[in-house]
Amino acid sequence: MSRIAILSPIDEMIPVAKEACRKTGENLIVKKVNFDEAASTARELEQAGIEVIISRGMAGIKIIESGIEIPVVQIPITGYDLLRTIMEARKLGENIGIADTPDILQGVETIEKTLGFTIEKYPVHSLSEVEAGVNSLIGRNIDVLIGKSVYVSEVRGCVQTVILSSGIESLIQAINEAKTLLEVRRAEVKRTKQLQAILDFIADGVMAVDGEGTITVCNPSARKILNLPEDEVIGKNIDHLLINSRMKKVISSGKEELNRIQEENGVKIIANRIPIRHENKVFGAVCTFQELQKLQQQEQEIRKKLLHRGHITKYELSNIVGKSTSYQQAIEKVKKYSKVDSTVLLTGETGVGKEVFAHLIHSLSKRSEGPFVAVNCAAIPKNLLESELFGYVEGAFTGARKGGKTGLFELAHQGTIFLDEIGELAEPVQAQLLRVLQEGEVMRLGDERVIPINIRVIAASNRDFDQMVEEGKFRADLYYRLNILDIQIPPLRQRVEDIPLLCSHFIDELLPNIQKEMLKFDEEAMEMMQSYHWPGNIRQLRNIVERCMILSQGKVIDKGTVLMAGGKDFVSQKSQKSADIDAPMENGRLKEYEREYIVEVLKKVNGNKTEAAKILGIGRTTLWRKINNQ
């Protein structure tokens, strides 16, 4: 069905319109309408799916004024139409008068000059002036009145009349214009639908206002994020709806506002606002925004996926070995402290399991689903630590990565950050850490924005804080802020009863990699293990157990294997302990153990003496001497 309709108030125009359709090859709806029903007929056609209406003169004006939404094309009166009508009138009488709109009268003036006679003219601006115009012309003794059908109907009978109407060319012109409009309209509808689909689909809230702040666009996400009622947004002034919209500010300043964090209707959002310009004039503004909490959750998910390896807990209560009272007391503290969110300070010698405790606190806490970020403050170069912890924005310093970098504090959002070797922090970083703990927000290097974060801090150190504070090397206020809850992990030498348990735990753990049958320490060997002072604590114990497992000949790990595995530290400890008793024999046996150990190590490194000396912790000359029994 055709989407264009021609509505004519003049009977005579119907056949002309039909002929124009035939000539253009269009099968349009052609209808005769009275002036009074022009608007209602047009509306009915609009509802029936007509997309463009072609009409004439006052009927066309009435349709446009009725508020119809589809476009209306007015059939023009061309110069040719005027000439044809004047010639027709001239056949009826000498004195011709015309009452019409000023643009038509201008056309008449041009024709008068060509024809060589004058025509009485009366300009009409609206329907109400028609009667006065016609009367004025009659008063000037005209023989023939030219006018549009509505004017002419006023005087039929008084003077002769000729209706000024459009010819076929004008109709063809109108049909072509209507066809172009139809195409433009369809392209526009398509674009609008596309835009609508985008606005309906995107998760970001989008709102736009005109120059006065009246809301013209508000997508479903915007309504959802800000809890706005569905029907009461469009057409409202934004300031009546939102207290902090800042849209008028953007319109008046003409300046964009990007990444602004604010609260609106009780919801924290991050918003971008830009002015809408046309021909250097600002005529509105558009704002896109996201809910901060959601954004952070999404970031969290991505971070988890990207950084899975480093940011999850590895330990649970079930893999923790230690039955001694002092150790169990520490574990009890872990269980209690994991129930709250306060900062914990873990102290203890190297290798006692401070990181293990931090993992445990996290995995037992309500943050266990969030990330666990472990940072060894001593392992990161001092000049990089600040940017690693707090992140930076693009261009913050020479060499800053494009796009900036997320700091470790941000990465730990909703989870726990474990700051190992906290005693190594430089003073400026200490000050910043204090701010994070007090305010719950970080600021990337080179940035002015603060980023709210929700983290739990667990710090650890094997240094004496009281002394560091006293010497001014560690801020007292930071120390007190960190040390809200404290756990001291006892060194291994103070809980020797845990050593057998730990040994069999590590044997079970390491056996699959070593490909040997079940192994265990014999009594003498275990005694030796328990009498050692373990400066490297559990970490060192695990290493020695592994070495013993590799070096042992049969299913049992004996004293000799322990000595071999322990290397010179064990040997010197043993020799010191046994210096008084049975010295010559013990020294001879020790030398033997030492040689066996050296041979074993050499085998492992395929005879490479430099490598063996490195593993044994002695120089190449000493190694040569020992091999040659000197």
**Smallest gap from residue 314 Cβ to ligand ATP (A):** 8
Which has the closest alpha carbon to 466: 347, 329, 376, 349?
A: 347
Whose Cβ is closer to ligand ATP: residue 205's or residue 566's?
A: 566
Q: What is 177-199 written as a DSSP string?
A: HHHHHHHHHHHHHHHHHHHHHHH
* Residue number of the CB atom closest to ligand ATP: 353
**Smallest gap from residue 357 Cβ to ligand ATP (A):** 7
At position 285, the amino acid (one-letter code) is A
Reduced to 3 DSSP states, what percent helix, strand and coil does the chain have, rounded to the nearest 5? 50, 20, 30
- Number of H helices and number of E strands within the chain? 26, 24
| Rounded Cα gap, residues 111 and 105, in angstroms | 10
**Smallest gap from residue 539 Cβ to ligand ATP (A):** 4
| Rounded Cα gap, residues 245 and 451, in angstroms | 21
Whose Cβ is closer to ligand ATP: residue 273's or residue 354's?
A: 354
Whose Cβ is closer to ligand ATP: residue 348's or residue 407's?
A: 348
Report helix, strand or coil for 282. Answer: strand
Q: List all residues 6 or more positions away from 144 whose beta carbon is below 8 Å from its beta carbon.
A: 89, 90, 92, 93, 95, 96, 97, 159, 160, 161, 162
Whose Cβ is closer to ligand ATP: residue 233's or residue 501's?
A: 501
| Rounded Cα gap, residues 81 and 166, in angstroms | 6
What is the torsional sign of CA 380, 363, 440, 333? negative
Phi, psi of 5 (to 5 degrees): -125, 140
**Smallest gap from residue 606 Cβ to ligand ATP (A):** 29
**Smallest gap from residue 299 Cβ to ligand ATP (A):** 28
| Rounded Cα gap, residues 611 and 607, in angstroms | 8
| Rounded Cα gap, residues 388 and 301, in angstroms | 20
User: Residue 4's beta-bridge partner residues?
Assistant: 52
Which has the closest alpha carbon to 386: 443, 338, 330?
A: 443
Whose Cβ is closer to ligand ATP: residue 396's or residue 501's?
A: 501
Q: List all residues 6 or more positions away from 306 whose beta carbon is below 8 Å from its beta carbon.
A: none
Determine contact, residues 530/540, Cβ cutoff 8 Å.
no
**Smallest gap from residue 354 Cβ to ligand ATP (A):** 3
| Rounded Cα gap, residues 609 and 620, in angstroms | 7
* Burial of 178: CB neighbours in 10 Å, binned 0-12, 13-18, 19+: buried
Whose Cβ is closer to ligand ATP: residue 350's or residue 406's?
A: 350
Interface residue list for ligand ATP (CB under 6 A): 320-322, 348, 350-356, 420, 462, 505, 538-539, 542
Read off the DSSP letter of residue 493: G
At position 468, the amino acid (one-letter code) is M
**Smallest gap from residue 423 Cβ to ligand ATP (A):** 11
Whose Cβ is closer to ligand ATP: residue 532's or residue 593's?
A: 532
Residue listed under structure tokens 């020790």: 590
| Rounded Cα gap, residues 625 and 32, in angstroms | 123
**Smallest gap from residue 424 Cβ to ligand ATP (A):** 11
User: Residue 417's beta-bridge partner residues?
Assistant: 373, 457
Whose Cβ is closer to ligand ATP: residue 333's or residue 505's?
A: 505
Whose Cβ is closer to ligand ATP: residue 13's or residue 374's?
A: 374
Determine contact, residues 40/190, Cβ cutoff 8 Å.
no
